Chain A
Amino acid sequence: SQKIEQNSEALNIQEGKTATLTCNYTNYSPAYLQWYRQDPGRGPVFLLLIRENEKEKRKERLKVTFDTTLKQSLFHITASQPADSATYLCALYSGGYQKVTFGIGTKLQVIP
């Protein structure tokens, strides 16, 4: 069955450092890999997506890589700030009318 794994434990980093979150998947061939941010008690907010034929995508301080051979995506936040503290969700989508499948997320805490 399809499986998405994210670092399930919380990730604590010092302000100003780069946070790197990992998303691994099995039994899946996604056309798109998506990343969302979720704050406590709120709905997830879409951040960015990367297509299967793209290796890297950037948006401001965010960078995502996608390796379809390793079946892995890395999500980087550079120059992290306490306001970046949240849970980050990885999601896979095959396109068309297919559903979006989510990992359980990684909780990031940026320490001042």
Chain B
Amino acid sequence: DVKVTQSSRYLVKRTGEKVFLECVQDMDHENMFWYRQDPGLGLRLIYFSYDVKMKEKGDIPEGYSVSREKKERFSLILESASTNQTSMYLCAGRGGAGELFFGEGSRLTVL
């Protein structure tokens, strides 16, 4: 199984701050994903990457960017955090049959 590790479980940031969420997977899988999860809205895809330096917008990319410099690492960046970006952020790697392996999540609060 793919093991996915997210660097921070809980973060509190102020409006306007730049926020980095880091994600590392321990398998040589190409596809990685960033979702956010909010009550009543479920999991929504922000960005995904199918290879190093490749990225694709998901359903809600506005206000976010990503970086994939190495195969095992996929970072989500909030250039200027806003209160509506308070959420649970989940990173995932994709296994051979398309199944996703998620990290434990990063709960971000923007004040």
Contact = CB atoms under 8 A, between A and B. Distances in A.
Interface of A: 31-32, 34, 36, 41-46, 49, 89, 91, 93, 95, 97, 99-105
A41 B42 contact: no
Interface of B: 4, 31, 33, 35, 40-43, 45, 48, 50, 56, 58, 90, 92, 94-95, 97-105, 107
Residue among A42, A49, A100, A105 with the highest chain B CB neighbour number at 10 A: A100
Given A99-B33, A99-B48, A49 B102 contact: no
Contacts of A102: 35, 42-43
Given A34-B99, A43-B102, A44-B102, A99 B58 contact: yes
Given A99-B33, A104-B40, A104-B41, A49 B97 contact: yes
B98 A44 contact: no
B31 A97 contact: yes
A36 B103 CA distance: 13
A43 B104 contact: yes
Nearest to B51: A97
B98 A93 contact: yes
Nearest to A105: B42
Contacts of A101: 45
